[in-house]
A and B are shown apart, each in its own frame.
Chain A
Amino acid sequence: MAYLSEEEKDQLIEVINIGVGNASTALSQMVNEQVTLSVPEMYAGPVENALDFIGESEQVQTAVLFTVSGDIDGMMFLIFSSEDALKLVQLVSKQYNQEKSITKGSNESALKEIGNVLLGPALGALSHFLDAHIVQSVPELASDMLDSVIDEALSEVLKSSKAAMIFKTEFSVKSKDISGHFFFLFEPKATDEILKMIKEKYTTS
């Protein structure tokens, strides 16, 4: 996997772009604001070195996490600072001056639902583009030091693979000063599978 060609990297990033593009459209419609997306960045390397790529490790952050299974196995995360997660929930639910903590009851389930609304279309676009059958788990929420939240996910990957490939895209709702990151994580096997699907798509069409 460490031996991907530039063309293969571009193809993978383009596929991720299709997914996050749909996620940002969903977000834009939900909050009725313009959403800006960065170009996806890619990490490919040992699982245990991935934390630095994912983010500020000691900061408390809020993550909505999904596992992905079917033709492609992997994970998807939505990661924010806890303040931005709360701002987004308030923006969507219009319940200002309510719960002040993102881990309190209704905010927690609202944020999980936001995760569903954003990453559902992203995964849908991926599976449509790749003509693959991919399903997502129910969302789970964790809010703590980022590396303690992510280490369980990385350990899960390490059970079957020493390497991981991760795509990171920053999104922001500039008018509301909210930003966060979308992450897609695949094992090398799943990455190979995606590349194969891309190849099939372009040789048959």
Chain B
Amino acid sequence: MSNTVKIGIGELAVGKGRECIKTSGVGSCVVIALYDPDVKVGGLAHAMLPTNKISGDKETKNKSVHLEKTAKYVDEAIRELILTVEKKGGKRERLSAKLVGGAQMTPLFGGLKESIGVENVREARKQLKAYAIPLVNEDTGGSIGKLIEFYSDSGLLKITSMI
């Protein structure tokens, strides 16, 4: 692939044509892929939590804002991903979505509550429904980490696990 972009946790990227977007080590995080096949524009967002629930979120209002990544929360990540796809020539009504991740890596967190992964996937489905973007496929849940490659010339997602 001519151009490979690697994104980390809390980041997103959109490619056009022969580009590859890669993100590794997806555990409880959810990765949302959006694709417009007509103009071959699409991308990935790698989100950590459903929504921002930190009350009195002072940090975003001061100078540390430049440290903020835009895709930490599922709701913000999907909104930003749609906007970025549109900037590159995609159309919201032609988009389709895929979801990967939302695993529970250890039972350490949450206890009897739902795992972060389950919450992330649920929020992603909810947001996609609200934007009327069809969810065409997903590989979510389980307890295995995944490495994801997205090809913007085909919209294909390649999912690799190490164990």
B residues 45-93 with Cβ under 8 Å of A? Answer: 48-49, 53-54, 57, 59, 64, 67-69, 72
| Stretch among B23-31, B34-42, B128-136, B150-158 lining the A interface | B23-31
- Residue contacts A-B, CB under 8 angstroms, 5 given: A51-B8, A145-B145, A148-B105, A153-B108, A154-B48
Closest to A160 in B: B54
Interface 1/0 per residue, A114-152 and B, CB below 8 Å: 000000000000000000000001001111111111111
Q: In the complex the two chains form, is A162's CB within 8 Å of B59's CB? A: yes
Min Cβ gap A104→B in Å is 12
User: At the interface, yes or no: A161 with Cβ under 8 Å from chain B?
Assistant: yes
Main secondary structure of the interface of A (DSSP, over half): mixed
Min Cβ gap B113→A in Å is 11
For chain B, the count of residues having a C-beta within 8 Å of the partner chain is 37
A151 vs B108: C-alpha distance when bound (angstroms): 13
A148 vs B24: C-alpha distance when bound (angstroms): 8
Q: In the complex the two chains form, is A48's CB within 8 Å of B10's CB? A: yes
Min Cβ gap B58→A in Å is 9
Residues of A within 8 A of B (CB): 2, 45-49, 51, 57-58, 60, 65-67, 103, 137, 140-156, 158-163
Q: In the complex the two chains form, is A152's CB within 8 Å of B28's CB? A: yes
Q: In the complex the two chains form, is A149's CB within 8 Å of B108's CB? A: no
Q: In the complex the two chains form, is A140's CB within 8 Å of B108's CB? A: yes
Interface 1/0 per residue, B114-134 and A, CB below 8 Å: 011100000000000000000
Closest to B116 in A: A155
Instruction: Evaluate whether A148 and B26 lie within 8 angstroms (CB atoms) in the complex, with A140-B106, A155-B49 already known.
Output: yes
A45 vs B49: C-alpha distance when bound (angstroms): 18
Chain A residues whose CB sits within 8 angstroms of the CB of B64 once the complex forms: 2, 46
Main secondary structure of the interface of B (DSSP, over half): loop
Q: In the complex the two chains form, is A140's CB within 8 Å of B107's CB? A: yes
Chain B residues whose CB sits within 8 angstroms of the CB of A158 once the complex forms: 48-49, 72
Instruction: Evaluate whether A58 and B25 lie within 8 angstroms (CB atoms) in the complex, with A140-B106, A147-B145, A148-B105 already known.
Output: yes
Taking a contact as CB atoms closer than 8 A, the residue among A60, A141, A144 that contacts B27 in the complex is A144
Given A65-B108, A148-B144, 19 more pairs with CB closer than 8 A: A48-B8, A48-B10, A48-B69, A58-B24, A58-B25, A144-B145, A145-B25, A145-B147, A147-B9, A148-B105, A149-B105, A149-B106, A151-B25, A151-B26, A152-B117, A156-B109, A156-B116, A162-B57, A162-B59
Min Cβ gap A43→B in Å is 13
Min Cβ gap A165→B in Å is 15
Min Cβ gap A63→B in Å is 8
A148 vs B30: C-alpha distance when bound (angstroms): 11
Chain A residues whose CB sits within 8 angstroms of the CB of B161 once the complex forms: 144
A2 vs B56: C-alpha distance when bound (angstroms): 18
Min Cβ gap A147→B in Å is 3
A51 vs B49: C-alpha distance when bound (angstroms): 16
Instruction: Evaluate whether A155 and B25 lie within 8 angstroms (CB atoms) in the complex, with A148-B105, A148-B146, A162-B54 already known.
Output: no
Taking a contact as CB atoms closer than 8 A, the residue among A49, A67, A163 that contacts B109 in the complex is A67
Q: In the complex the two chains form, is B29's CB within 8 Å of A151's CB? A: yes
Q: In the complex the two chains form, is B54's CB within 8 Å of A161's CB? A: yes
User: At the interface, yes or no: B162 with Cβ under 8 Å from chain A?
Assistant: yes
Interface centre among B29, B48, B49 (most CB of A within 10 A): B48
